Amino acid sequence: MSETPLKSDRRVADSIRSSWVDRAPGSWRPYLRLARYDRPVGFWLLALPCWIGLAAARTETGLGWTDLYWTILFGIGAAAMRGAGCTYNDIVDRDLDAQVARTADRPLAAGTVSLKAAWGFLVAQCLVGLAVLVQLPLPAILTALAALALVAAYPFMKRVTWWPQAWLGLTFNWGVPVAGAAALGTPFALEIVLLYAAMIAWTVGYDTIYACQDMEDDALIGVKSSARALGPHIRLGVGLSYGLSALLVAAAGVIAGAGLFFAAGFAVYAAHLFSQLSGLDPADGADCLRRFKANQLTGLLLVAAFVLGAV
């Protein structure tokens, strides 16, 4: 029996318009879309916790050339593993994605990539991630491997809990303890633990904003989310998540010994973080997507704050 013919490549609803992916060779495009290279904000949100954790771990000793090397490795690893995670997520969710307007054009749901090819692409991306991983110190390697269970379980969380955003926070921010293990030899330093908790709360907030786009479709197909759980209290829930995150970041900075330069950077970061709440309308999907994407800058400002603290 012959396989179903693949359909033509198509843009995904929330991708960047006229990105480099649209100019790539036609045979590559469905795979680049599968890895979300046309939606790079996810790469930043995966890489930033690694960089934040590394900078926070160096507040007493200062940053060195080894840290620059690790920063590059974390960036490459984030690109590979974000792509692998998205590929795995779409393999698991391909039937659900076909029922949601925003995700119906994803390659597996739309039939532009075969399931067999997607598994092969997943393995290839994981091998790139492995090549990066083995260049880190042993404590960081062991810490990173511990995240595999979190990654494997994530696509199923929306089926069993109203708070899959919390599980995403556990998964997406694992770079904080990995960076702590690389720089300090342990992922359990108090400032690293506090920072990891802060990043989880941040993720719950920004991914709740993101989930507002799908509330109607999610309700129809029975998918759970923090946005649906909060209902009319979304702004309050996001505000509490962001408030907790900022408090934990401040505590991590104090424990790490960051000084006045960090305090100045922290103030700019906090102002940008809370600016997302002003005028937030959960019913405006386009605006929610814009506010979600603003967290790329929020994370970069926090990296800058901890780098200033390490000077």
pLDDT of residue 1: 39
Contact 189, 219 (CB under 8 A): no
Domain for residue 14, yes or no? no
Q: What does the alpha-carbon distance between residue 219 and residue 210 come to, in Å, rounded to a whole number? A: 15
> To the nearest whole number, what is the mean pLDDT of the chain?
93
141: exposed, middle or buried (Cβ count in 10 Å: 0-12, 13-18, 19+)? middle
Q: Which two tokens stand for residue 48?
A: 């930033």
Indicate if the pLDDT at residue 288 is higher than 70. yes
* Structure confidence by residue, pLDDT tens digits, 1-48: 345 667 777 777 767 777 888 888 888 999 999 999 989 999 999 999
CA dihedral 302, 303, 305, 310 (to 10 degrees): 150
Q: Which two tokens stand for residue 136?
A: 């880190």
Domain for residue 8, yes or no? no
User: Domain range for residue 46?
Assistant: 20-309
Residue of 230, 155, 169, 229 lying closest to 204 (CA atoms): 169
* Structure confidence by residue, pLDDT tens digits, 270-285: 999 999 999 999 999 9
Q: What does the alpha-carbon distance between residue 178 and residue 125 come to, in Å, rounded to a whole number? A: 19
CATH of the domain at 218: 1.10.357.140
Domain for residue 152, yes or no? yes
Domain for residue 109, yes or no? yes
Domain for residue 9, yes or no? no
Q: How many domains does the chain divide into?
A: 1
* Structure confidence by residue, pLDDT tens digits, 93-148: 999 888 888 888 899 999 999 999 999 999 999 999 999 999 999 999 999 999 99
pLDDT of residue 2: 43
Domain for residue 2, yes or no? no
Q: Could you tell me the pTM of the whole model?
A: 0.93
Domain for residue 10, yes or no? no
Contact 212, 226 (CB under 8 A): no
pLDDT of residue 9: 74
The phi and psi torsions of 197 (rounded to 5 degrees) equal: -65, -40
* High-pLDDT (> 70) share of the chain, %: 98
